[in-house]
Amino acid sequence: MTAVKNFEPKIIGFLCNWCSYAGADKAGGMQESYPPNVQVIRVMCSGRVDPQFVLSAYEKGADGVIILACHPGDCHYKEGNCRALQRHTMLTMVLEQLGIEKERCRLDYVSAGEGEKFGRVINEMVESVRLLGPLIKNGSSTTESLRTQSK
Protein backbone atom coordinates (compact mmCIF):
# COMPACT_ATOMS: atom_id res chain seq x y z
CA MET A 1 0.00 0.00 0.00
CA THR A 2 1.31 3.46 -0.78
CA ALA A 3 1.09 6.54 1.39
CA VAL A 4 -1.75 8.97 0.75
CA LYS A 5 -0.63 12.56 0.15
CA ASN A 6 -0.98 14.71 3.29
CA PHE A 7 -2.30 11.75 5.31
CA GLU A 8 -1.83 12.15 9.06
CA PRO A 9 -2.60 8.91 10.90
CA LYS A 10 -4.67 8.75 14.04
CA ILE A 11 -2.95 6.48 16.54
CA ILE A 12 -4.20 5.38 19.93
CA GLY A 13 -1.50 4.79 22.53
CA PHE A 14 -2.09 2.69 25.65
CA LEU A 15 0.66 3.69 28.10
CA CYS A 16 1.48 1.96 31.37
CA ASN A 17 1.13 4.40 34.28
CA TRP A 18 4.36 3.45 36.02
CA CYS A 19 6.87 3.42 33.18
CA SER A 20 5.70 4.44 29.71
CA TYR A 21 3.47 7.31 30.80
CA ALA A 22 6.33 8.60 32.94
CA GLY A 23 8.63 8.17 29.92
CA ALA A 24 6.24 10.33 27.89
CA ASP A 25 6.34 12.92 30.65
CA LYS A 26 10.14 12.84 30.62
CA ALA A 27 10.13 13.28 26.83
CA GLY A 28 8.01 16.38 27.29
CA GLY A 29 10.32 17.69 29.99
CA MET A 30 13.30 17.15 27.72
CA GLN A 31 11.46 18.92 24.89
CA GLU A 32 11.89 15.77 22.79
CA SER A 33 10.10 16.32 19.52
CA TYR A 34 7.61 13.80 18.24
CA PRO A 35 4.43 14.09 16.16
CA PRO A 36 1.12 14.81 17.92
CA ASN A 37 -0.64 11.93 16.14
CA VAL A 38 -0.89 9.71 19.22
CA GLN A 39 -3.87 10.05 21.53
CA VAL A 40 -2.65 8.71 24.87
CA ILE A 41 -4.77 6.53 27.10
CA ARG A 42 -3.16 5.98 30.49
CA VAL A 43 -3.66 2.49 31.91
CA MET A 44 -2.43 1.24 35.26
CA CYS A 45 -0.70 -1.68 33.57
CA SER A 46 -0.15 -2.74 29.97
CA GLY A 47 -1.44 -6.16 31.03
CA ARG A 48 -4.87 -4.56 31.49
CA VAL A 49 -5.16 -3.63 27.80
CA ASP A 50 -7.92 -5.94 26.65
CA PRO A 51 -7.79 -6.90 22.96
CA GLN A 52 -11.35 -5.57 22.76
CA PHE A 53 -9.98 -2.07 23.50
CA VAL A 54 -7.71 -2.34 20.47
CA LEU A 55 -10.49 -3.60 18.19
CA SER A 56 -12.70 -0.78 19.42
CA ALA A 57 -9.99 1.79 18.62
CA TYR A 58 -9.85 0.56 15.02
CA GLU A 59 -13.63 0.47 14.75
CA LYS A 60 -13.78 4.10 15.92
CA GLY A 61 -11.34 5.28 13.27
CA ALA A 62 -7.79 4.69 14.53
CA ASP A 63 -5.22 3.93 11.86
CA GLY A 64 -2.85 2.35 14.37
CA VAL A 65 -2.49 1.33 18.02
CA ILE A 66 0.64 1.33 20.14
CA ILE A 67 0.92 -0.35 23.52
CA LEU A 68 3.86 0.80 25.63
CA ALA A 69 4.82 -1.32 28.61
CA CYS A 70 7.45 -1.60 31.33
CA HIS A 71 10.57 -3.53 30.37
CA PRO A 72 10.43 -7.29 31.10
CA GLY A 73 11.23 -7.86 34.76
CA ASP A 74 10.34 -4.28 35.75
CA CYS A 75 6.54 -4.51 35.87
CA HIS A 76 4.99 -2.82 38.88
CA TYR A 77 2.46 -5.66 38.93
CA LYS A 78 5.10 -8.39 38.50
CA GLU A 79 3.94 -9.96 35.22
CA GLY A 80 1.50 -7.57 33.57
CA ASN A 81 3.90 -6.77 30.75
CA CYS A 82 4.25 -10.51 30.03
CA ARG A 83 0.46 -10.72 29.76
CA ALA A 84 0.54 -7.73 27.40
CA LEU A 85 3.08 -9.52 25.18
CA GLN A 86 0.93 -12.67 25.07
CA ARG A 87 -2.17 -10.67 24.20
CA HIS A 88 -0.32 -8.67 21.55
CA THR A 89 0.92 -11.84 19.88
CA MET A 90 -2.62 -13.24 19.75
CA LEU A 91 -4.04 -9.89 18.70
CA THR A 92 -1.74 -9.50 15.69
CA MET A 93 -2.93 -12.87 14.39
CA VAL A 94 -6.57 -11.83 14.77
CA LEU A 95 -5.94 -8.46 13.12
CA GLU A 96 -4.24 -10.09 10.14
CA GLN A 97 -7.27 -12.37 9.70
CA LEU A 98 -9.38 -9.19 9.60
CA GLY A 99 -7.12 -7.73 6.92
CA ILE A 100 -5.28 -5.31 9.22
CA GLU A 101 -1.51 -5.23 8.80
CA LYS A 102 0.45 -6.26 11.90
CA GLU A 103 2.52 -3.05 11.63
CA ARG A 104 -0.59 -1.13 12.67
CA CYS A 105 -0.44 -2.63 16.17
CA ARG A 106 2.86 -2.30 18.00
CA LEU A 107 4.01 -3.31 21.46
CA ASP A 108 7.19 -1.80 22.83
CA TYR A 109 8.91 -1.15 26.15
CA VAL A 110 9.68 2.32 27.49
CA SER A 111 10.80 3.00 31.06
CA ALA A 112 10.26 6.16 33.06
CA GLY A 113 13.80 7.36 32.30
CA GLU A 114 13.65 6.78 28.54
CA GLY A 115 12.23 10.03 27.22
CA GLU A 116 14.39 9.87 24.10
CA LYS A 117 13.27 6.32 23.37
CA PHE A 118 9.64 7.35 23.82
CA GLY A 119 10.06 10.03 21.15
CA ARG A 120 11.84 7.64 18.79
CA VAL A 121 9.21 4.90 19.17
CA ILE A 122 6.36 7.36 18.55
CA ASN A 123 8.14 8.76 15.47
CA GLU A 124 8.69 5.24 14.11
CA MET A 125 5.06 4.25 14.68
CA VAL A 126 3.65 7.38 13.05
CA GLU A 127 5.93 7.02 10.03
CA SER A 128 5.13 3.32 9.67
CA VAL A 129 1.37 3.93 9.71
CA ARG A 130 1.72 6.98 7.46
CA LEU A 131 3.39 4.76 4.84
CA LEU A 132 0.58 2.20 5.13
CA GLY A 133 -2.07 4.87 4.58
CA PRO A 134 -5.53 5.13 6.12
CA LEU A 135 -7.01 1.94 7.54
CA ILE A 136 -10.74 2.14 7.22
CA LYS A 137 -12.82 3.56 4.44
CA ASN A 138 -16.57 3.82 4.90
CA GLY A 139 -18.33 0.61 4.00
CA SER A 140 -15.16 -1.49 3.85
CA SER A 141 -15.19 -5.16 4.71
CA THR A 142 -12.64 -4.40 7.43
CA THR A 143 -15.14 -2.13 9.16
CA GLU A 144 -17.84 -4.78 8.99
CA SER A 145 -15.45 -7.44 10.32
CA LEU A 146 -14.55 -5.25 13.27
CA ARG A 147 -18.18 -4.57 14.10
CA THR A 148 -18.91 -8.30 14.03
CA GLN A 149 -15.87 -9.08 16.22
CA SER A 150 -16.67 -6.41 18.81
CA LYS A 151 -20.20 -7.67 19.54
Note whether residue 141 is domain-resident: yes
Note whether residue 36 is domain-resident: yes
Can you give the pTM of this predicted structure? 0.88
Element (H, E) at 26: helix 20-29
Note whether residue 25 is domain-resident: yes
pLDDT digit string (tens) for 44-101? 999 999 999 999 999 999 999 999 999 999 999 999 999 999 999 999 999 999 999 9
Cβ-count burial of 23 within 10 angstroms (0-12 exposed, 13-18 middle, 19+ buried)?
buried
- Answer yes or no: is pLDDT of 147 > 90: no
Percent of the chain residues topping a pLDDT of 70: 87
Which among 77, 81, 132, 80 is positioned nearest to 103, based on CA atoms? 132
Judge whether 79 and 42 are in contact, CB under 8 Å: no
How much is the pLDDT for 150?
56
CATH code for position 135: 3.40.50
Note whether residue 95 is domain-resident: yes
Element (H, E) at 69: strand 64-69
How much is the pLDDT for 94?
95
pLDDT digit string (tens) for 98-112? 999 999 999 999 999
How much is the pLDDT for 2?
54
- Could you tell me the residue range of the domain that residue 108 belongs to? 11-149
Note whether residue 4 is domain-resident: no
Q: Please state, rounded to an integer, the average pLDDT across all residues of the chain.
A: 90
Query: Letter for the amino acid at 120?
Result: R
* Spatial separation of the C-alpha atoms in residues 42 and 23, rounded to whole Å: 12
Domain count, the chain: 1
